[in-house]
Amino acid sequence: MELTQEQIVRYSRHIMLKEVGGEGQKKILQSKVLIIGAGGLGAPVALYLAAAGVGTLGIVDADVVDLTNLQRQVIHATPDVGKPKVQSAQETINQINPDVKVITYQTLFKAENALAILGDYDFVVDGTDNFPAKFLINDACVMANKPFSHGGILRFDGQTMTVLPGKSACYRCVFNEMPPAGVVPTCSQAGVLGAVAGILGTIQAAETLKYILGYDDAGNRHACSLLTDRLLIMNAKSMQFREVRFKKNPDCPVCGAHPSINRLADYEQKACELKREA
Amino acid sequence: MIRIPHTIVNSIIHTARRGAPLETCGLLGGQGEVISFFYELTNADASAEHFTLIPEEHLFAIKDARRRGLNILGVVHSHPASPARPSEEDLKLANDPNMLYFILSLAGPEPVLKVFQIRQHIPREVPLEIAIGTREYGRLVLPDSVVQDIQGVRHQVESFVRKETDAVRFRAYRVPMGLYEQRQDGAYMARTRLPGGVADAHQLETLADLAERFGQGVLHFTTRQDIQLHNLAIENVPTVLETLLGAGLVCRGGGGNTVRNITGSPLAGLSPTETFDILPYVVQISEHLLPHAGSYNLPRKYKIALVSEIHDERLLRVADLGLRARLKDGQPGFEVWAGGGMGTHSLPSVQIAEFIPAQEAVLYAEAIKRLFDQYGDRTNKHRARLRFVVQRLGESAFKELVQQFLAQVRQEIKTVPPLRVRQYAAVGGKVLSELLPDVVEGVGPGRYAIRFRPWLGDVTSAELRTIAQAVKRYALEFRADCGQGFYLAQVKGEDVAAILETLKAFYQPVPAAAPLACTGAATCRLGMCLSRGLAQAIRETVLALPEDRQKSLPRIRISGCPNSCGQHPVAELGFYGAAKRVGGRLMPFYNVVVFRPEGKTLGQKVGDLPAKAVPAFIQQLESLDTIAETLAAFQTYPSYEEAPDYYRDWGQTVDFSLAGRGPGECGAGVLDVIELDLKTAENELRQAENSQGAVSSAALYQAAVAAMRSLLIIRGVETQKPREIFSAFQQHFILPGWVDPAVEKFIPALLDFRLGDLADLQAWGPLVRSLAARIRELYASLDGNLNFRITPLAIAEKAADALAAEPASDLHQVDLRGTPCPMNFVLAKLEIEKIPVGHRLEVYLDEGDPIKNVPASFQDQGQNVEKIGDAPGKGKSVIIRRTV
């Protein structure tokens, strides 16, 4: 492919970078990224990847835009309340960058459709807000050998890591099992500072772009390294970032040498107790 | 709540322990509720139960505190055998309700310090906080960013140890952290900066402990008030830096292209001969520059020196920014000098301002930093220091620029509080050198300062601990100086003898017997000569001289190569290493330099002589005024057969060689030798052209040998034997394609000529000429790591073969005139991605920013900018070779 004049201008600040260049920008334009969840994390991820010119963005979300979403889900606007989130996100992305093709999936990400949706995407971003989905995404990505970025936020805290199945530790290497329902509250129970979603989401977007550019190992000549084998944990109150390092667990139930999880299942844990009662 | 720094508490405890069983006493200065200065005073009663201050000392402390901008907040005394509460006597004598009464008890297993206010003879205890890292006189508060940088070291080091970071990238990280790799692989040096040379006993002990645990007990005092730890294993570096940080010490900015340690006259605040106490300004400028990330990514290093004593003024002229303390109408201020520096190309600084109010010093430091950042030549580190900016722009344009940047800085930094400084009404303190050399009068009644010169700045951990103990025991102030040594100040007259006895190993009252020397070729890849060996020889020579001759000689400074690590440009008598070919062999040599402190320039070379002749020369040197005559007697060199020793450096039993030396950073020494050989080749070529027959052939032969030999040194080959030269040249230059392959066929002819089987070489004349030209070209393209920046002929040819289908030229063009920045770079970059690696792209650009910015951007991205010039009819042009 050749860059058009408009693309050269649009992406000039990328092209100037030693680590991107025209070749790197073409890689971005040809890449396909799946974002699961068009909420607090998915919104900044989708906005930045769209602006960066990711050629195909798949967006999975079953919900419609709610007024309570707008405090942090910056891809949706007030007139979008009531619209399916995937549609609202698609409209915003189209306005930002006509280069981006958006594929929408207005459904929950479930065991039965997971592998079909993952399809031929190059990279997956976990922007979900509940443990069953996070474990499912991890297991599905490991089985389908899809690299992905895990992200999670709560109150003033956030955490993220990048997983290259087979190469680096997966989410289950770190968190073997999900916590029992109710032990860890979700955003809608406990609240979240909107900007924390932005911080975490943009980190995930940066990881996505680095992966697309081919910086998936420490030996690349530009010294970019992905957030693999380390969990980045941030707290916006003290505004401190720290890293917890770990290794691939050889006994991991999904990516270990003898995996005990061999097929996908929808895990039992209610995402939000309060919402159900409401 | 009263706050007192833990260092002062330590001083109080040490003083009390030393004085026990008698009570000791002192006064505490500070501001508000913060104590920042301790005056140890004499207990006139010399009693175990009560104390009285001596009025003279009391008055001195009050005046001194006032000069420092402090108040006397408290009085402290010890209770060697009773609890930390006021005695009946204490309550009876306490009559100042505002005074804080500190009592240190040594009665229990641990010392206890308490503080009371006493009103109408009734004590009330005041809460006391012993603070770590609070502001103290002369000590900087480490900026958070620097603390965080150091906390990041562990991660960086671990990543390097796990081989996730390669050595080159790690070097770029570690050098600005003050970490250098030593000549032996895997050993590191950490340079701890001491602004103004200040360190307390606890810090010295920390350094000693770290050297002992991790550095084989080796420490080194530098010429810029740093203390270095050596032989550190990389795995231990994080622990070392974290421990140093815990003691308030940092290495950040100890090396690399950073704001280096800010030096000050070592006895600042402790000397009656100083103009005023500059130490607060050393601290202020350090605290201003250290937190900025920009201070660690300058074109080259940025050295700042503050000077308040006449004998330190030489340092003013060789600093990037030199500030000389001045008083004008009684107000403290500075004379400003900028753009000085020592290296292979030393230049004295130029005067920027005759007098600026003292509080503007920090503005100048910032302005010069910005100017340097913007105008320093980042593409050529050998010409990157500020002095080359001055040289390039000219003095007046440079001064104008300083004013521009200063105006910018003034916009941003509106107010700088003037610091309170100690100031003396008249300069009149006397040096008591008639009493004892190197013992000078200090401030305060009966106080002295003693100068110590450990041999070449080296001390062991045990020795440093002894120094630290002396500092504690005698309540001294330690200051590192700018000459590989240190001062101990605030010495009481009665303690002088005991301290000299304790530290006699470092007390060298004959300056000439304590030369200052760089590390030399033994451990430095740049070095040519073994400067330390010469220093030892000089010491022995000087100490054998009669006493009056010993005293008449100045301190000698020795650099092993033209780089000025041994400070030879500011030495009253200096030497720097060189090599000369004598009868085809290399002889270690020294150039002799003389510096007149009153002169306008740096030291001037007055001649040279063999390294082995230096001690005899010093022995015969009557006076610096007749140095030329003395030197003239050393201008005949013995042949190898007569005196092989002359061809060996000090302490060596093998012949002198430069093989294996690299330029590393500057490499001037090696380059000199290459230059020498190349000149020889070119002279012989001229000789060949201007003569005929056998003479001409012989000259051609010599030219070929010299040309081939010249660059072998950078491949680690140093030999005189033609056959070895030819075979090494074949291996290192012909086969890899650096020179015309036809030279290969020429070598048999050279061998035949040498053996007499061939009489005439003239047919080879054009080849020798092109060879010499090619070698000159290769030499000119050497970069700082001794790599050629031009492509081998063989590779260029192969590339041409591979592209036989394409036009012969590997030069592609794009015309980007009319395209503004930065879009011109974006488009040029897209063009260069289209051409194969190894090919060149010529970009036509507009004058001004485009031709300035685009080549710099390519350079930044690792492409090779080969040529910038005019393209007739097409504006400016830059040719870039695609390397990545």
Q: What is the 3-state secondary structure (H, E, C) of B617-651?
A: HHHHCCCHHHHHHHHHCCCCCCCCCCCHHHHCCCC
Contact A21 B829 (CB under 8 A): yes
Q: What is the mean pLDDT of each run of 10 residues along chain A (278 residues)?
A: 88 93 95 97 98 97 95 96 96 95 95 93 95 94 96 94 94 84 72 95 97 77 82 95 89 90 80 40
Confidence of residue B831 (pLDDT cuts 50, 70, 90): very high
A-chain residues within 8 Å CB-CB of B164? 218, 225
CATH 3.30.413.10 corresponds to the domain B274-412: yes
Instruction: Return the domain boundaries, chain B.
Output: 2-131, 144-246, 274-412, 432-507, 513-647, 668-790, 795-881
CA distances from A254 to A172, A251, A259 (A): 7, 8, 5
Return the closest-CA partner of residue B708 out of B791, B638, B778: B778
User: Chain A interface, mutation test: which of B162, B829, B841, B880, most A Cβ atoms within 10 Å?
Assistant: B829
- Average pLDDT, stretch B110-132? 87
Instruction: Report how far residue B807's alpha carbon sits from residue B501's, in angstroms, rounded to the nearest whole number.
Output: 82
Q: What is the pLDDT of residue B350?
A: 93
Q: How far is B826 from chain A (nearest CA, A)?
A: 5
B307 Cβ neighbours under 8 A, 6+ residues apart: B264, B265, B278, B313, B315, B316, B322, B323, B324, B325
pLDDT at B660: 56
pLDDT confidence band for B561 (50 / 70 / 90) = confident
The rounded distance, in Å, linking the Cα atoms of B884 and B872 is 29
B858, B812, B712, B696: which is closest to B765 by C-alpha?
B696
Do residue B164 and residue A21 have CB atoms under 8 angstroms apart?
A: no
Task: Quote the distance between the C-alpha of residue B209 and its chain's center.
Answer: 24
Phi-psi region of B80 (alpha: psi -120 to 50; beta: other; left: phi over 0): alpha
DSSP letter, residue B440:
E
Encoded tokens for B399? 């001064």
Same fold for the pair B2-131 and B513-647: no
Q: Does domain B2-131 have CATH number 3.40.140.10?
A: yes
pLDDT, average across residues B818-841: 89
Residue in chain A closest to B826 (alpha carbons) equals A16
Q: Which residue has the tokens 């340092």?
A: B315
Residue B666 pLDDT level (bands cut at 50, 70, 90): very low
Predicted confidence (pLDDT) per residue in B13-70, tens digit: 877 887 889 999 999 998 888 888 888 888 989 899 899 998 888 888 888 888 777 8
Q: Which CATH number is B432-507 given?
A: 3.30.70.260
Topology of the domain comprising B795-881? Translation Initiation Factor IF3 (3.30.110)
Nearest-CA distance B825 → chain A (Å): 7
At residue B262, does pLDDT exceed 80?
yes
Residues in B closer than 8 angstroms to A18, CB to CB, are: 860-862
Q: Which of A26, A21, A57 is nearest to A42 (CA)?
A: A57
Question: Which whole number is the average pLDDT over B727-744?
Answer: 86
Q: By the CB < 8 Å criterion, does A97 face chain B? A: no
Residues 217-276 of A with CB under 8 A from B: 218, 221, 223, 225, 243
Rounded to the nearest integer, the mean pLDDT of chain B is 85
Give pLDDT tens digits for B370-387. 999 888 887 777 788 999
> Model confidence at B595, in pLDDT bands (50, 70, 90)?
confident
Q: Nearest CB to A22: which of B165, B823, B833?
A: B833
Q: Fold for B513-647, please state it.
A: Sulfite Reductase Hemoprotein; domain 1 (3.30.413)
Q: Which residue has the higher pLDDT, B690 or B467?
A: B467
Cα–Cα nearest to B788, from B799, B780, B796, B797 = B780
Write the DSSP symbol of residue B259.
B
> For B109-118, what is each residue's pLDDT tens digit?
888 999 999 9
- Of B155, B164, B830, nearest to A8 by CB-CB distance is B830
Assign B806 a pLDDT band (cuts: 50, 70, 90): very low
Which residues of chain B neighbour A12 with C-beta distances below 8 Å? 822-823, 826
Chain A: give the shortest CA distance to residue B378, in Å: 18
Provide the residue type at B470 as one letter: A
| Amino acid present at B396 | S
With H, G, I as helix, E, B as strand and everything else as coil, classify residue B856. helix
- What's the start-to-end Cα distance of chain B, in Å? 63
Kindly determine whether residue A12 and residue B826, on different chains, have CB atoms separated by under 8 Å: yes
Instruction: Verify whether the Cβ–Cβ distance B822 to A22 is below 8 Å.
Output: no
d(CA B486, CA B508): 12
Whole-number Å distance between alpha carbons of B76 and B38: 9
Q: Which residues of A touch B833 (CB under 8 A)?
A: 21-23
B617-639 confidence digits (pLDDT tens): 999 998 888 999 999 999 999 99
Q: Nearest residue of A to residue B857 by CA position? A: A16
Compute the 3-state secondary structure of chain A and give helix, strand, coil in percent, each to the nearest 5: 35, 20, 45
What gap in Å lies between CA B707 and CA B729, rounded to an integer? Answer: 10
Chain B residues inside the 8 Å CB shell of A22: 829-830, 833
d(CA A263, CA B375): 63
Question: Tokens representing B613?
Answer: 């002749």
pLDDT for B434 equals: 40
DSSP state of B815: E
CB–CB contact B860 A218 (8 Å): no
Write down the pLDDT at residue B673: 73
- Among the partner-chain residues B169, B830, B884, the one whose CB lies closest to the CB of A15 is B830
Task: Identify which of A3, A16, A225 has the shortest CB distance to residue B825.
Answer: A16
The closest of B823, B316, B178, B289 to B602, measured between CA atoms, is: B316
More confident residue, B183 or B344: B344
DSSP string, B99-155: -EEEEEE-SSSS-EEEEEEEETTEEEEE-EEEESS--BTTBPPPPHHHHHHHHTHHH
Q: Yes or no: is domain B144-246 CATH 3.90.480.20?
A: yes
Please, are residues B283 and B195 in contact by the beta-carbon 8 Å criterion? Answer: yes
Asked if B882 is an interface residue toward chain A (Cβ–Cβ < 8 A), one would say no
Nearest partner of B241 among B256, B224, B254, judged by Cα: B254
Cβ <8 Å between B829 and A15: yes
What Cα–Cα distance (Å) separates residue A92 from each residue in A54, A60, A108, A195, B276? 15, 15, 21, 19, 67
Task: Look at the block and give the residue holding tokens 């807000």.
Answer: A129
Q: What is the pLDDT of residue B146?
A: 82
| Chain centroid to CA B145 | 23
- Which domains does chain A show, CATH number per domain? 31-277 (3.40.50.720)
Residue B427, pLDDT score: 35
Distance CA A169, CA A252 (A): 9
Mutation for B interface: A16, A239, A244, A247, most B CBs within 10 A: A16
**ipTM of the prediction:** 0.86
Helix (H) or strand (E) holding B463: helix B461-473
| Closest A-chain CA to B170 | A223
How is B482-541 classified by DSSP, letter by letter? SSS-EEEEEEEGGGHHHHHHHTGGG----GGGS-EE---TTT-SS--S-HHHHHHHHHHH
Question: Which of B20, B39, B19 has its CA nearest to residue B29?
Answer: B39
> DSSP states of A74-142 as a string?
TT--GGGTTSBHHHHHHHHHHHH-TT-EEEEE-S---HHHHHHHHTT-SEEEE--SSHHHHHHHHHHHH
The whole-number pLDDT of residue B23 equals 94
C-beta atoms of A225 and B164 within 8 A: yes
Tell if the CB–CB gap between A8 and B829 is shorter than 8 Å.
no
User: Is B773 within 8 Å of chain A by CB?
Assistant: no
Min Cα separation B803/chain A (Å):
22
Instruction: Give the separation between CA B609 and CA B592, rounded to whole angstroms.
Output: 8
DSSP string, B78-95: EESSS-SS--HHHHHH--
Q: From the candidates B162, B826, B827, which should be mutated to test the interface with A, based on the most A CB atoms within 10 A?
A: B826
